[in-house]
A = this chain, B = another copy of it.
Amino acid sequence: MARLTNDRNSCPVSILMNLLSGPWTMYIIWTLSTSGPMRFGALHRQVEGISTKMLTERLRMLEQEGIVHRHYEPTVPPQVTYSLTERAGELVAILDQLNGLAQRWYGDLPGCGASQPQPDALEKATVLL
């Protein structure tokens, strides 16, 4: 549980990389950044293929790092909405550069449902925080 990023990964970049390199992490961030805030179930459906365990795990991780915000509504049934924080904006910006680089290198392939993030979606995504 405390396995953060010791051994060879003690520099800041690696912390971030270890975060992002998680199996579904990018997809979650990307989905939230393009489709806006989303409930757990919706996210689970959107990312499609991820197990609830993984989704929860990644979400907790991202929440802990201040990248996503978890809004818990104690209704019945309970509603939990996840949104990106402002921090995430900076991150997504860099990710976008990475995306640009990748597209120049590999050409843009299809299959990625969120290749070009709509600015308004990102705004929507950060509104809730």
Contacts and interface: CB of A to CB of B under 8 A. Distances in A.
A99 B8 CA distance: 16
Contacts of A91: 101
Q: Is the interface of A mostly helix, strand, loop or mixed?
A: helix
Contacts of A13: 26, 30, 95, 98-99, 102, 112
Number of copies: 2
A16 B94 contact: no
A27 B12 contact: no
B98 A16 contact: yes
Nearest to A103: B12
A57 interface: no
Interface of A: 7-8, 10-17, 20-21, 24, 26-27, 30, 47, 49, 65-66, 87, 90-91, 94-95, 97-99, 101-103, 105-112, 114-115
12 contacts: A8-B24, A10-B109, A11-B114, A12-B106, A13-B98, A13-B99, A13-B102, A17-B26, A87-B105, A91-B101, A94-B101, A97-B97
